[in-house]
Amino acid sequence: MRAVDIIQKKRDNEKLSDKEIEFLLNGYLAGDIPDYQMSAFLMAVYFNDMSQEELLKFTMLMRDSGDVIKFDEINRFLVDKHSTGGVGDKVTVVLSPILSALGMGNVKLSGKGLGHTGGTIDKFESIKGFRFSTTKDELVKIANKTGVGLMGYSDKIVPLDKKLYSLRDVTATVPSIPLIASSIMSKKLAIHSDVIILDVKVGDGAFMKNLELAEKLSERMIEIGKGADRKVRVVLSNMDEPLGHAVGNANEIIEAIEFLKGNYADDLKEVVYTIASLALKEKGEVKELEEAKEKIDKVINDGSALKILSEFIEESGGNKELVNNYDLLPKAKSVMEIFSEKEGYIKKIKTEEIGKAAMIIGAGRAKKEDEIDHAVGINIFKKVGEKIAKNEKIAEIYYNNGENVEESKNMILEAFVLTEEKVEKQKAVLKII
Residue 211 exposed, middle or buried by CB count within 10 Å (0-12, 13-18, 19+): middle
Q: Which of 35-39, 111-115, 162-166 has the lowest mean pLDDT?
A: 111-115
What is the reported pLDDT for 117? 57
DSSP 149-166: EEEE--TTSSHHHHHHHH
Is 82 one of the catalytic residues?
yes
Q: Which residues pair with 34 in a beta bridge?
A: none
Per-residue pLDDT reduced to its tens digit, 15-38: 999 999 999 999 999 999 999 999
What is the reported pLDDT for 368? 62
Interval 336-340 mean pLDDT = 98
**Is residue 143 within 8 Å of residue 116, measured between CB atoms?**
no
Annotated catalytic residue, options 90, 116, 187, 188? 187
Q: Which of 68-82, 152-166, 185-199, 230-244 has the lowest mean pLDDT?
A: 152-166
Please report which residue ranges of 228-374 form alpha helices under DSSP H: 250-260, 266-283, 292-301, 304-315, 351-358
Alpha carbon separation from 300 to 71, 259, 303, 309 (Å, rounded): 27, 8, 5, 11
Q: Residue 150: pLDDT band by 50, 70, 90 thresholds?
A: confident
Interval 201-224 mean pLDDT = 93
Annotated catalytic residue, options 183, 193, 277, 340? 183
Q: Residue 69: pLDDT band by 50, 70, 90 thresholds?
A: confident
Is 166 one of the catalytic residues?
no
Phi, psi dihedrals of residue 286, rounded to the nearest 5°: -135, 155
Q: What is the mean pLDDT of the chain?
A: 93
Interval 49-77 mean pLDDT = 94
Highest mean pLDDT among 121-130, 154-163, 332-341, 419-428: 332-341
Interval 328-345 mean pLDDT = 97
Distance CA 267, CA 119 (A): 19
Q: Residue 136: pLDDT band by 50, 70, 90 thresholds?
A: confident
Distance CA 302, CA 306 (A): 9
Beta-sheet pairing, 77-83 with 195-202: parallel
Q: Residue 112: pLDDT band by 50, 70, 90 thresholds?
A: low
For the packed helices 211-227 and 52-63, what is the interaxial angle rounded to 10 degrees? 70
**Is residue 109 within 8 Å of residue 358, measured between CB atoms?**
no
Residue 417 exposed, middle or buried by CB count within 10 Å (0-12, 13-18, 19+): middle
Top-confidence residue, 118 or 233: 233
Buried residues in 47-82 as b, exposed as e (16+ CB within 10 A): eebbeeebbbbbbbbbbbbbeebebeebebbbbbbb
- Express as a percent the part of the chain with pLDDT over 90: 81
Domains in the chain with CATH codes:
3-48 (1.20.970.10), 77-324 (3.40.1030.10), 331-419 (3.90.1170.30)
Is 81 one of the catalytic residues?
no
Alpha carbon separation from 314 to 88, 127, 311 (Å, rounded): 24, 10, 5
**Is residue 78 within 8 Å of residue 104, measured between CB atoms?**
yes
State the maximum Cα–Cα separation within the chain, in Å, rounded to a whole number. 69
Interval 286-313 mean pLDDT = 96
For the packed helices 18-30 and 52-63, what is the interaxial angle rounded to 10 degrees? 30
| Full-model pTM | 0.93
Beta-sheet pairing, 104-110 with 148-152: parallel
Interval 46-50 mean pLDDT = 97
Phi, psi dihedrals of residue 65, rounded to the nearest 5°: -75, -10
Sheet holding 387-388, edge to edge: 387-388, 344-349, 416-419
Distance CA 379, CA 65 (A): 41
What is the reported pLDDT for 154? 72
- Express as a percent the part of the chain with pLDDT over 70: 97
Position 85 pLDDT exceeds 90: no
Annotated catalytic residue, options 80, 122, 161, 240? 161
Distance CA 126, CA 329 (A): 7
Annotated catalytic residue, options 116, 168, 230, 233? 168
Distance CA 271, CA 432 (A): 11
Alpha carbon separation from 59 to 55, 84, 172, 182, 207 (Å, rounded): 6, 17, 20, 5, 20
What is the reported pLDDT for 41? 98
Cα 168 → chain centroid: 19
Distance CA 22, CA 395 (A): 52
Per-residue pLDDT reduced to its tens digit, 266-282: 999 999 999 999 999 99
Top-confidence residue, 61 or 112: 61
Distance CA 217, CA 206 (A): 13
The count of C-alpha atoms lying within 13 angstroms of the C-alpha of 174, restricted to the half-sphere facing its C-beta, is 8
Q: Which of 115-129, 308-322, 344-358 has the lowest mean pLDDT?
A: 115-129
Is 154 one of the catalytic residues?
no
CA 255, 259, 262 angle in degrees (round to 5)?
A: 140
Is 245 one of the catalytic residues?
no
What is the reported pLDDT for 163? 92
Per-residue pLDDT reduced to its tens digit, 213-272: 999 999 999 999 999 999 999 999 999 999 999 999 999 999 999 999 999 999 999 999
Annotated catalytic residue, options 10, 81, 82, 374? 82
Position 369 pLDDT exceeds 60: yes
